[in-house]
């Protein structure tokens, strides 16, 4: 049993408890059951998804760690599953945590300035999956956005002749549009293709959602400068942890 000040049953209750925080709006799909708990200055939620992150917590670091520790101690987090925390040192969780990753969730609510080359961005189809795989293997082999991934709704790309040289995935899961797997072939970098595909995809998703977001590692300073220039100025810093 998880000791908490309040149990939160369902997506609407969790959103209300977190003041509809953009990261929570992104994290909670409208088709997945969710359970949550509030303790002190932290709110934690868990999903029943089979793949990907199982949940998250927002709030002050110390109560967030305490609440996630209680959730894990209650056997609610299976081996190999990830939970998102606000940026913090997860060492108080002990050896149960087998990996961690710091990253930033950035979002915008406004259309980006027009970028040269946006008109070259096209929606891709299943026939493009081999080309996507080849591009990602070459340019971004650690990317978790892959052709055939059921969490990807659409792929977009830029071609140079008959070769795919840039791509991005629409990985929206909640009520916030989400860009993932933004990739440019090494020999085509420095030509504005990253800006073009990011801007074009942002524009497409803003037709469906009131907010669009993406993730970026804090060490990727060039990407951060680009995203800021395109309007991604709001940031929520996270530490994702994997339980053994």
Q: Are 21 and 28 in contact (CB under 8 A)?
A: no
| 61-101: pLDDT as tens digits | 999 999 999 999 988 898 899 999 999 999 999 999 999 99
| Range 120-125 average pLDDT | 98
Angstrom distance (rounded) from CA 26 to CA 45: 13
| Closest listed residue to residue 232, CA positions, set 205, 192, 202, 194 | 202
Residue 188 DSSP class: G
Establish if 29 belongs to a structural domain. Answer: yes
d(CA 20, CA 11): 10
The verdict on 129 and 46 lying in the same domain is: no
Residues 156, 201: one domain?
Answer: yes
Domain interval for residue 23:
6-105
Cα–Cα distances (Å) from 213 to 5, 107, 230, 231, in that order, read 31, 4, 12, 10
**The pLDDT value given to residue 134:** 98
Q: Judge whether 236 lies within some domain.
A: no
> Which one of 105, 127, 145 terminates a domain?
105
171 in Cβ contact with 151 (< 8 Å) = yes
What is the Cα–Cα distance from 174 to 151, expressed in whole angstroms?
A: 11
One domain, residues 150 and 190: yes
Separation of alpha carbons 158 and 119, rounded Å = 9
Instruction: Please report, for the chain, how many H helices and E strands are present, in that order.
Output: 6, 12
Mean pLDDT of the chain: 95
Return the beta strands (E) in 114-192 as ranges: 122-123, 154-160, 163-170, 177-184
Judgement on whether residues 68 and 135 belong to the same structural domain of the protein: no
For residue 132, being part of any structural domain is answered with yes
**Residues facing residue 57 across a β-bridge:** 44
43 and 123 belong to one structural domain: no
At 49 the pLDDT is 77
Please tell me which residue, 35 or 53, carries the higher pLDDT value: 35
Domain annotation covers residue 243: no
pLDDT in tens, 155-198: 999 999 999 999 999 999 899 999 999 999 999 999 999 999 99
Which among 14, 94, 18 has a CA at the least distance from the CA of 46? 14
Distance CA 168, CA 35 (A): 31
User: What radius of gyration do the chain's Cα atoms show?
Assistant: 19
The structural domain count of the chain equals: 2
Same domain? For 59 and 129 the reply is no
- pLDDT value of residue 92: 95
Say if residue 59 is in the same domain as residue 114. no
**Does residue 18 register a pLDDT over 90?**
yes
- Parallel/antiparallel/unpaired status of strands 212-216 and 97-108: antiparallel
Q: What is the pLDDT of residue 4?
A: 74
CB 224 within 8 A of CB 216: yes
- What mean pLDDT comes out for the span 189-212? 98
CATH code, domain with 179: 3.40.630.30
Query: Average pLDDT for residues 35-56, to the nearest whole number?
Result: 88
Residues facing 215 on adjacent strands: 105
- Supply the DSSP symbol for 94: G
């Amino acid at each position: 049993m998880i000791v908490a000040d309040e149990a939160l049953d369902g997506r609407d209750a969790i959103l209300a408890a977190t003041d509809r925080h953009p990261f929570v709006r992104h994290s909670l799909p409208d088709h997945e059951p969710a359970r949550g708990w509030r303790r002190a200055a932290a709110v934690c939620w868990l999903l029943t998804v089979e793949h990907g992150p199982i949940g998250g917590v927002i709030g002050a670091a110390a109560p967030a760690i305490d609440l996630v520790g209680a959730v894990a101690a209650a056997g609610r987090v299976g081996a190999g599953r990830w939970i998102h925390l606000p940026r913090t040192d997860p060492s108080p969780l002990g050896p149960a945590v087998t990996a961690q990753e710091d990253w930033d969730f950035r979002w915008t609510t406004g259309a980006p300035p027009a970028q040269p080359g946006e008109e070259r961005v096209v929606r891709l189809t299943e026939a493009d999956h081999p080309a996507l795989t080849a591009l990602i293997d070459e340019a971004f082999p650690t990317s978790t956005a892959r052709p055939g991934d059921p969490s990807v709704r659409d792929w977009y790309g830029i071609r140079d002749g008959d070769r795919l040289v840039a791509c991005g995935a629409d990985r929206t899961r909640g009520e916030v549009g989400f860009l993932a797997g933004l990739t440019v072939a090494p020999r085509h970098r420095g030509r504005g293709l990253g800006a073009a595909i990011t801007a074009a995809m942002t524009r497409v998703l803003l037709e469906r959602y009131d907010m669009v977001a993406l993730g970026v590692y804090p060490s990727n300073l060039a990407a951060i400068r680009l995203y800021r220039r395109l309007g991604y100025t709001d940031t929520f810093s996270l530490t994702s942890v994997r339980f053994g």
